[in-house]
Amino acid sequence: MTLHLLHFSVFRDARGCDAERVETDAPTPLALCAELFGAAVPAQPEAWARVAVNDAFAGWDVRLAEGDTVVFLAPSAGG
């Protein structure tokens, strides 16, 4: 399936782009994170990061679908 990815913060630095389209069989954001970042990401991203699917917070084990937009969210630091 094709997914749209938006990247911010350290995830953007790691991928070297703001957005991209990927072909993947990763069924969940957790699997997709491992596929994209592998060992470069600290273990258990679900413990320190969040994920959004289609502009809403989502669980790391939600089932991804064709055309979804996925964003990995490093800890916020506004203010």
Partner 1 sequence: MTFLLSAEPLDAAACRAALVALAPPGAAGGVVAFEGLVRNHAEGRSVESLEYHAYDALALSEGSRVMDEARERFAVEAVCAVHRTGHLALGETAVWVGAAAAHRQAAFDACRWALDEVKARVPIWKREHYADGPAEWVAVPRIAP
Q: Which residues bind partner 1 (CB under 8 A)?
A: 6, 8-11, 13-14, 16, 37, 39-42, 48, 50, 52, 55-57, 71, 73-79
The torsion angle over the Cα atoms of residues 22, 67, 64 and 76, rounded to 10 degrees, is 70
Pure H helices in the chain = 9-15, 29-37
* Closest separation in Å from C-beta 49 to partner 1: 8
Q: Which is nearer to partner 1, 23 or 40 (CB)?
A: 40
Identity (one letter) of the amino acid at 41? V
Q: Which is nearer to partner 1, 28 or 37 (CB)?
A: 37
